[in-house]
Amino acid sequence: MRAQAISPVDLERYPIDDLDGPAGRALVARCRSELAAVGACDLPGFLRRQAVEQIVAEIPQWDATPHRTDTTHNIEFSGKEAELADDDPLRLRVRSAKSLIAYDQIPDASPLRAVYESDELTAFVGASLDVEPLFRQSDEIGALNVMLYDPGDELGWHFDNADFVVTLMLQEPSVGGMFEFVPMLRTADDKNPRGVAALLAGDRTGFAP
């Protein structure tokens, strides 16, 4: 165990350093249950408040130039609208506007980087997903990044291309900024075009804030 690497994690609530112990096994079981039921698992206060405050305070001091994007896309980022039927919901476009700090711009000394690079976190995520062994991404730019949202920015509805995504919310917005997802809107066997179209038209039936 590398205590320094995972010290920002609230190990009393989330004992990722002892997954074989009773509390660690219970945590993994809880995560697996939530992922199976709704497709997402929420872990409030995963990082200690002091660590979060330190990370947020240090971000403006990093020697980083965020990459800015403001574009429209379909929910799969496929860019293949011209090949689709007229009523296919993948023809509908949403807006995403944000700034991104890439992995190679995050200082080695950052607690955020230390937690991401810890073997304990990798093992915990893998165990929760029942994917073992799990390896950290080798992409020097995209493996870990920090998203910055200015007033008026948004991340449009989308389906991630990755098998799974871990999102860490570091700062509450002063207004707006609601994170939403729809449990089990699609499956591998059923892309549910009617449900997707209804969602993009404003129907929030079944959504989770």
Domain containing 123 equals: 3-180
For residue 198, being part of any structural domain is answered with no
Decide if pLDDT at 50 tops 60. Answer: yes
**75 lies in a domain?**
yes
pLDDT above 70 (res 2):
no
DSSP H/E element including 94: strand 94-101
How many Å apart are CA 171 and CA 137, to the nearest integer? 25
Helix or strand run (H / E) with residue 113:
helix 111-116
The pair of three-digit structure tokens given for residue 37, joined into one six-digit string: 């039921």
Is 64 among the domain residues?
Answer: yes
Beta-bridge partners for 69: 98
Higher pLDDT, 29 or 209: 29
- Look at residue 199 and tell me if it is in a domain: no
Q: Residues 6 or more apart from 200 whose CB is under 8 A from it? A: 75, 89, 92, 94, 157
**What are the backbone angles phi and psi of residue 122, rounded to the nearest 5°?**
-60, -45
pTM: 0.89
DSSP 8-state code for residue 58: H
106-152 pLDDT tens trace: 999 999 999 999 999 999 999 999 999 999 999 999 999 999 999 99
More confident call, 115 vs 87: 115
Tokens of 169: 């919310």
pLDDT at 208: 60
Residue 1: pLDDT over 80? no
Residue 24 has pLDDT above 50, yes or no: yes
- Per-chain mean pLDDT for the chain: 91
Domain total in the chain = 1
Does 11 map to a domain? yes
Which residue type does 126 have?
Answer: G
Query: Is there a domain that residue 170 lies in?
Result: yes
List pLDDT tens digits, range 161-200.
Answer: 888 999 999 998 888 888 888 888 888 889 899 999 999 9
Q: Considering the domain boundaries, does residue 196 fall inside one?
A: no
Q: List phi, psi (to 5°) of 54.
A: -65, -45
18 belongs to a structural domain: yes
Candidates 182, 130, 125; CA nearest to 158 is 182
Percent of all residues in the chain with a pLDDT value above 70, rounded to a whole number: 95
